[in-house]
C-alpha cells in the first residue's frame, strides 16, 4: 500500500497534502478492517467450536472474550439468577429426601441388632490383624451420621451417597465374618430390612434425579441459545459495518479517479512495453487488475487483446504501480543471481588455479628427482 501511494504521489497527484489526506483515509480504513476481521474470526470460531463445547453457565461466562461478554452480560446474569433459583429449589427438595432417609436410618440404628455397627471396628482391641486386608473401605453408622451433619462442604450431596455407605456397613460385616457368625447374620437381616424401606423412598429419589438431569439439560440449552443469539446479532452488526467500509472505499476510489491526471501517450506506450517484460504469473495478476474495472474483459482467455488506450486512468495508474514494483523486484533477484554466479565462477577459478599449482609443483619435484638419478656425480 505504501509503495502504491508513493507512486501515485509522484506521478498521479500534484500536491503532497492531498496524498497525505488519502493516506490517512487508507490507514483509518485499514485499522477498521483489521478490527472487523478480528470480530469476524471470533464469530467464526464460536460456530466452529459450538458442537464441541461443554456449556455450563459458569464456564461460558468466563470463557468468552471481552466483546462477547459485554453483549452477553445481561442475558447471562439472568440465566445465572435462574440457575441459582433452580439450584436452591433442587437443594431444598434433596434435603427433604435426605430428611426422609434419615427417618429410615434412625429406624435401622434403633434396632436391637444395630449396636455392632454404630462405631468403627476396634481392629487393634479385637486383634483383627487381617481386617484391612479384607475390608478395603471401613464404614459405620457413627461416621455416616457425622457426614450427614457436616456443614463444611464435606457432607453428602445426595441420598444415593448415604444409601451406598449404609449398604457398605452391612456388606463389610458380611464379607469379613463367616455366614454362620452372629455379626454376619445380624448384618444380613438389617440389610434386608433397610432395602425394603429404601424401595419405598426410591421412586421419589428417581423422580428427583430425572428432574435434575432435565433441568441441567435445559440450562445448558438456554445458555447455548443465548450465545448463538448474541453471535447472530454480532454477525448482523458486522455485516452492516462491512457495508459501511465498502461505501468508504468506493468514495475513496472515486476521489482517486478524480485526482489522477491523464497518462500521456508516451507513458502508455512504455507501460505496454513494460507489461511484456512481466513473468507469466505477474502478467496474469496485471490482467486481473484490468478486469476489475472492465467486466467484459476476460483475463484468463487463450488470447488476450489489451487496448491500453481504452482503459480508465485509475486502471492505468494501478497497472503502472504494479508493473514498477514487480520489475523492480525482478531486477533485484536478477542482480542476486548474477552476483551468485560471479562468486561461484571466482571460486571455481581459484580452485582450478590452486589445482594447477599443485600439479606443477608435483611435476617439478618429479623432474628434480629424475635429474638427480641421471647425474653421474650422484
The CATH number of whichever domain residue 243 belongs to comes to 1.20.920.10
Q: In terms of domains, do 34 and 180 share one?
A: yes
DSSP string, 344-355: HHHHHHHHHHHH
CA distance 283 to 299: 10
Please enumerate, as own/partner, the contacts of 162-169 that have beta carbons within 8 Å and a separation of 24 or more: 162/98, 162/101, 162/105, 163/101, 163/198, 165/139, 166/105, 166/108, 166/141, 166/194, 167/191, 167/194, 168/137, 168/139, 169/117, 169/139, 169/140, 169/141, 169/144
CA distance 271 to 289: 14
Q: Is residue 10 situated within a structural domain?
A: no
Cell numbers standing for residue 86? 433452580
pTM: 0.47
Q: In terms of domains, do 33 and 181 share one?
A: yes
Q: Is residue 31 situated within a structural domain?
A: yes
Q: In terms of domains, do 30 and 179 share one?
A: yes
Q: In terms of domains, do 165 and 285 share one?
A: no
Residue 277 three-state SS = coil
Q: Is residue 114 situated within a structural domain?
A: yes
Domain that holds residue 321: 263-300+307-330
Q: Is residue 60 situated within a structural domain?
A: no
Q: In terms of domains, do 136 and 231 share one?
A: yes
CA distance 288 to 315: 11
Which of 195, 193, 181 lies closest to 116, judged by CA? Answer: 181
Q: In terms of domains, do 34 and 158 share one?
A: yes
Q: Is residue 89 situated within a structural domain?
A: yes
Each residue's pLDDT, cut to its tens digit, for the chain (378 residues) gives: 444 444 444 455 555 566 677 777 777 877 887 777 777 777 777 777 755 444 333 343 344 455 555 555 566 567 677 777 888 888 899 999 999 999 999 999 999 999 999 999 999 999 999 999 999 999 999 999 999 999 888 899 999 999 999 999 999 999 999 999 999 999 999 999 999 999 999 999 999 999 988 888 888 887 777 777 777 787 788 788 888 888 887 777 777 666 667 888 888 888 888 888 888 888 888 888 888 877 777 777 777 788 888 888 878 888 888 888 888 887 766 555 545 655 565 566 566 566 666 655 665 555 555 444 444 444
Q: Is residue 210 situated within a structural domain?
A: yes
Q: Is residue 254 situated within a structural domain?
A: yes
Q: How far is CA 7 from CA 14, 57, 161, 266, 322, in A?
A: 12, 56, 78, 18, 10
Q: In terms of domains, do 185 and 270 share one?
A: no
Q: In terms of domains, do 254 and 270 share one?
A: no
Q: In terms of domains, do 128 and 241 share one?
A: yes
Q: In terms of domains, do 23 and 172 share one?
A: yes
Domain count of the fold of the chain: 2
The CATH number of whichever domain residue 289 belongs to comes to 1.20.1270.220
Amino acid at each position: 500500500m505504501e509503495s502504491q501511494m508513493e507512486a501515485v504521489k509522484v506521478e498521479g497527484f500534484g500536491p503532497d497534502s492531498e496524498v497525505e489526506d488519502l493516506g490517512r483515509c487508507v490507514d483509518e480504513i485499514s485499522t477498521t478492517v483489521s478490527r472487523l476481521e478480528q470480530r469476524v474470526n471470533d464469530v467464526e470460531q464460536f460456530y466452529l467450536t459450538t458442537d464441541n463445547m461443554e456449556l455450563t453457565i459458569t464456564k461460558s461466562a468466563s470463557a468468552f472474550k471481552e466483546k462477547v461478554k459485554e453483549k452477553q452480560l445481561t442475558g447471562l446474569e439472568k440465566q445465572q439468577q435462574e440457575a441459582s433459583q433452580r439450584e436452591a429449589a433442587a437443594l431444598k427438595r434433596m434435603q427433604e429426601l435426605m430428611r426422609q432417609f434419615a427417618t429410615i436410618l434412625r429406624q435401622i440404628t434403633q434396632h436391637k441388632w444395630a449396636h455392632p455397627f454404630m462405631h468403627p471396628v476396634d481392629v487393634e482391641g479385637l486383634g483383627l490383624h487381617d481386617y484391612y486386608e479384607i475390608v478395603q473401605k471401613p464404614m459405620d453408622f457413627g461416621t455416616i451420621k457425622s457426614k450427614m451433619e457436616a456443614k463444611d462442604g464435606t457432607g453428602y450431596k445426595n441420598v444415593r451417597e448415604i444409601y451406598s455407605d449404609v449398604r457398605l456397613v452391612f456388606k463389610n460385616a458380611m464379607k469379613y465374618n463367616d455366614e454362620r457368625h452372629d455379626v454376619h447374620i445380624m448384618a444380613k437381616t438389617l440389610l434386608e430390612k433397610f432395602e425394603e424401606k429404601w424401595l419405598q423412598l426410591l421412586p421419589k429419589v428417581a423422580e428427583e434425579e430425572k428432574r435434575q438431569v432435565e433441568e441441567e439439560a435445559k440450562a445448558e440449552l438456554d445458555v447455548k441459545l443465548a450465545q448463538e443469539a448474541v453471535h447472530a446479532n454480532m454477525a448482523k452488526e458486522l455485516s452492516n459495518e462491512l457495508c459501511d467500509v465498502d461505501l468508504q472505499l468506493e468514495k475513496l476510489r472515486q476521489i482517486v479517479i478524480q485526482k489522477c491526471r491523464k497518462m500521456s501517450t508516451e507513458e502508455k506506450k512504455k507501460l505496454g512495453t513494460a507489461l511484456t517484460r512481466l513473468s507469466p504469473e505477474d502478467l496474469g495478476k496485471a490482467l486481473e487488475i484490468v478486469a476489475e474495472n472492465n467486466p467484459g474483459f476476460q483475463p484468463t482467455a487463450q488470447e488476450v487483446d489489451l487496448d491500453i488506450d481504452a482503459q480508465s486512468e485509475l486502471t492505468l495508474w494501478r497497472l503502472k504501480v504494479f508493473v514498477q514494483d514487480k520489475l523492480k523486484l525482478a531486477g533485484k533477484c536478477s542482480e542476486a543471481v548474477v552476483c551468485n554466479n560471479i562468486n561461484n565462477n571466482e571460486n571455481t577459478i581459484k580452485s582450478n588455479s590452486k589445482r594447477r599449482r599443485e600439479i606443477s609443483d608435483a611435476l617439478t619435484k618429479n623432474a628434480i628427482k629424475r635429474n638427480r638419478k641421471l647425474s653421474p656425480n650422484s
